Structure 1
């Protein structure tokens, strides 16, 4: 029986296959899978989003806007209105929320709600783990994330992320550069990648976008760009935001992907995309769920510091690129993830 699902993204980031953030890419993947499967997908997301289903657009802040408390409060207001209107207009079976601030626009009792916890549990308000709203279900995207949740938190089984394997293809010949890409912010640790590539004597490309949060723009302008523009050492460039087509080319051509995150990552879509492209991943061992994705010595290396990352960059040519692609096919397909979500939707609806 076809379902009508209301997908609710983060209020300040557009959804689509070209989205910078992993959360937005997951929402896009689910929207596409639902539509392709004959279900009705309704997506609440900012203007500028791209959807296969029906976009219920909320006003987007200007590109140069500072994302302060006032901007966030305004975005929450627009999301609450859009969700309320959707519930009035459409026969929605389930609301699926993805934002770290979902509790600010969670609708009142009625339609069942599923919440995907995409970020470290410490990023969420403590009360989200003891919500009193009936028929409201939470789940994690990795075992590492689940272990970090508060004791006694009631969670459905984990649903690991996946990527559209058909978008990524290995390239027979690699180029010499290392690659780092994603959201530009202090916790992603791109300055570690710059130092590691310099020590390894390897060119580095950094791609991504700093959103309008003060800490993010300051990190880009005062930390990352000065490092990238410093004289001496191997070539290094900041590419800024890139679309899907260019990301595919870069991931396929890179000698390796660097994931120098300084926080407990709950997953890593870009690491999965790199493996699907036949590109090994070098990540900090303490970066949360990366050890659930990278098989040390087979599909990449897990390292403890910048010196070890530099050494791993030099050793990456020993790895089998075909093994990276096989790992992605076996473990990280979007089809598997979408099927798990559909089964979870039906499980939630049966429990109603």
Structure 2
């Protein structure tokens, strides 16, 4: 019997085939996977989003994303969730935003919250809030180990990427890539420094959001390091991302935060492109040192590792992505989690 799932994205980020945020990519692919398997997926997201399922639209936001704008967006999200619950027979609400507890629905329907970001970034009430039938799922084993003890915590569901669609071969060029949200915790200045030290060109792709701290970082830390050979090219859609990752010699991931996963690393491996990453968070679970890339401590070691890329087999990278980071495995794991939650609810009602 098919399920009806209400997927709820972050209030300030659209969802679609060319979305750039990691949580939004997971939501989009999960939504498409549910629809392909005969389930009904409804998606609460800003106007202009393009899910495979049915869009429950909220007004899109422009300009600064700080303070009152974010609070207004959260209030609109809460109202949209309430309308969807009144109109449709929702089996489960699946929330993806870091601010999910700002718009939890009233008790009654089971809720699953995917923890896309480091556990320390979530409010304290995440781990002990009193709403019944509210569950938390991490996206990696490392993240699960970092989570506080909570009876709501479920086993991880590992992220997946469209490995087959990313595997189209491109001729490698003498350049490096870096990719992700442009913000201080991603540490892209270290990627630029490493590329300069290695004498290699670098293309940095990513979205710069209208948060004050992100824009300050871009203008005062990142931009002064860029030059004609190390360039920022802005956000890329799926085809552009596949092209960049496919032709790059390596993806540099100098993240300074406790990464819960790394979709860009998984995507690079699916393209046959090794990854050179700092050892933060779950990155050592994604990148196998000496096999699919290198785990290094700093920018100097990152520059040294660039010279060793010839030792990495592109086909080993693609095989790893197909075996470990498939979308099918992610979608099936979420479906098993949904059924586990709904089974618990049924047993509770029967008792």
Scaled by the length of structure 2, the TM-score of the pair is 0.96
Equivalent of 2:323 in 305, 313, 330:
330
Please tell me the root mean square deviation across aligned C-alpha atoms, in Å.
Answer: 1.0
Equivalent of 1:154 in 128, 152, 155:
152
1: distance between equivalents of 2:215 and 2:275? 26
2: distance between equivalents of 1:204 and 1:69? 35
* Deviation per residue, 1:157-194 (Å, 9 max, x gap): 11010001232015263111010011100000000000
2: distance between equivalents of 1:346 and 1:39? 13
Aligned to 1:242: 236
Indicate whether 1:282 and 2:276 are aligned.
yes
The gaps in structure 1 that reach 5 residues or longer are none
Aligned to 2:75: 77
Equivalent of 2:127 in 126, 129, 133:
129
Point out the more displaced range, 142-151 or 76-85: 142-151
Number of matched residues?
A: 345
Shift of 1:85: 0.1
Scaled by the length of structure 1, the TM-score of the pair is 0.96
- Written as runs of structure 1 = structure 2, the 5 A alignment for 1:1-352 is 1-62=1-62, 65-152=63-150, 154-171=152-169, 173-229=171-227, 235-285=229-279, 287-352=280-345
The gaps in structure 2 that reach 5 residues or longer are 346-351
SS at match of 1:155: coil
* Deviation per residue, 1:11-51 (Å, 9 max, x gap): 01111221111000000001100111111000001112111
2: distance between equivalents of 1:253 and 1:107? 45
SS at match of 1:67: coil
* Deviation per residue, 1:185-224 (Å, 9 max, x gap): 0000000000000001111000111111100011112221
Q: 1:172 to 1:71 in 2, by over 3 A?
A: closer
1: distance between equivalents of 2:170 and 2:241? 17
Shift of 1:72: 0.7
Shift of 1:152: 4.3
Point out the more displaced range, 88-97 or 215-224: 215-224
Aligned to 2:349: none
CA contact (8 A) 2:2 2:39 kept: yes
Q: 1:243 to 1:152 in 2, by over 3 A?
A: closer
1: distance between equivalents of 2:194 and 2:111? 44
* Deviation per residue, 1:77-117 (Å, 9 max, x gap): 11001000000000000000000000000001001001111
